[in-house]
Amino acid sequence: MVEALSGNWGILLILLLRCTSIIIPILPGTYCLLISGYLFGFVNGLLISFTADLVACSVSFTLSKKLGRKILKRVMAKKYLNKFETLSKNYLEKNFFLLTGFLMTGWFDFVSYGVGLTKLKFRKFLFALFLSVFLSDLPFVATGNSLRELQNQDFNINKIIEGDVPSLQKEYLIIFVISVILIFSIGITGAFIERKYIKKDKSFN
């Protein structure tokens, strides 16, 4: 099964599932990052996930920019539409770093639509998106890859303690540590942003 999905059909399936989960924000999509890393390795998995996120978020931004609230009413509830439109116009349109931070959270798909309703230029959005996607996708893809590497090794708890597992040595260990740090950082950033800009708004209650 794994071998069958590790080819071109697997790539197309991951791209389709990930893009769909972004363009239709209510659908989950993080699992695609883990599967991508598991099936295709760290570099190829990250490239696939990175491409899917860039394309899908760009499509969301463009649809919002071209069609306005008309298209958004079809993909999200009114309270989310109103909130992210207000949030984007008051904070994200003029604050590149806050925009990048929001695009690294679980709300990134809603944000892509929201900022499309502002005067934000696509070039600025793409730059923030490029940076945020790389930082947020990397740890999850790396985790998926690590699961595959561990599964392929003949290891036990003693080997792990002694550092005798190839997937935890050298570059794998560095990637693993960076991934853990990034996942926690993204979680903390997301929690802070959600508390400061979203949960305090009564329209989300």
pLDDT in tens, 62-98: 999 998 888 788 878 888 888 889 889 988 998 898 8
pLDDT score of 3: 57
Q: What is the pLDDT of residues 42-65, one digit of tens each?
A: 899 999 999 999 999 999 999 999
- What the block records as the tokens of 149 is 């590497």
155-190 per-position pLDDT tens digit: 554 555 555 555 555 555 566 666 667 766 766 776
**Region of residue 156 (phi > 0: left; psi between -120 and 50: alpha; otherwise: beta):** beta
Contact call for residues 62 and 23 (beta carbons, < 8 A): no
Q: pLDDT > 70: what percent of the chain?
A: 73
Per-residue pLDDT at 106: 84
Are 44 and 96 in contact by the 8 Å Cβ rule? The answer is no
Identity of the residue numbered 91:
Y
Plot region of 67 (φ>0 → left; ψ -120 to 50 → alpha; else → beta): alpha
The predicted model gives 100-129 an average pLDDT of: 92
Q: Which has the minimum average pLDDT: 138-147, 162-171, 172-181, 192-201? A: 162-171
The enclosing H or E element of 39 equals helix 30-67
- The residue-averaged pLDDT of 145-154 equals 70
Pick from 149, 81, 93, 82: nearest CA to 119: 93
202, burial (CB in 10 Å: exposed 0-12, middle 13-18, buried 19+): exposed
Q: What is the DSSP code string of 139-183?
A: HHHHHHHHHHHHHTS---HHHHHHT--GGGSHHHHHHHHHHHHHH
Question: Residue ranges per domain, the chain?
Answer: 2-204
Average pLDDT, the chain: 81
Q: Count CA atoms within 13 Å of residue 153 on its CB side.
A: 18
